[in-house]
Amino acid sequence: MTGTLILVRHGESEWNLKNLFTGWRNPDLTEKGIGEARATGRILKAKGLAFDLTYTSALKRAQHTLDLILEEMGIENVTIVRNTALNERDYGELSGLNKDDARAKWGEEQVHIWRRSFDVPPPGGESLKDTAARTLPYYKAEIEPKVAAGQIVLIAAHGNSLRALVMAIEGLTPEQILKREIATGEPTVYQLNADGSLKARVSL
């Protein structure tokens, strides 16, 4: 038996557009982001996919993305589970800052380390390792068993919480996952075996 897991990063947010560190702050989607979410819904509908369950974070940009996907697909009666375990990485003191201003304050090298290292958190925030420590136990306990049982599950979340999942599902190293770009609104479909291991992966 195989199950299907679809991962989608939220569409472009207002703070993505403004080049701000977002983290747990709560801006909504831009018009472009709304279009990306709707396009994802059309792509998934064209593939004939329907969902037994959907999951998203506690942040509106991911929730709005999921709502638009379901609306575009004409899906009304599906369970939506929202949980902070799927929230974006917390950027701490960087949250709300323009990335150029952060470089001016702390230096380009230090900001690069915070953004692109696996286990060095920004002040008051989370590293990708910290994010994985929050996201993966929830995935393993709550989501993976349902996919392993043959269900079709969609997760609409964020770049770094999805990186944590991709790292585990694909068996990537910290170096490999840091190089993986996860585009806004681009769905990735995984087929998982009954033990949760990866059978196939397709980016749509």
> What residues are annotated to the active site?
10, 88
What is residue 204's DSSP assignment? -
Q: What φ, ψ does residue 178 adopt, rounded to 5°?
A: -70, -20
Exposure b/e, 130-160, CB count within 10 A at least 16 = b? bbbebbbebbeeebbebbbeeebbbbbbbbb
* Paired sense of beta strands 3-9 and 152-157, if any: parallel
Amino acid, single-letter form, for residue 155: I
Which tokens in the block code for residue 116?
A: 């692109």
Q: What is the spatial distance between Cα 118 and Cα 153, in angstroms, rounded to a whole number?
A: 27
What is the spatial order of strands in the sheet that 152-157 belongs to?
79-82, 53-56, 152-157, 3-9, 188-192, 198-203
Nearest to 154 by CA among 86, 59, 90, 200: 86
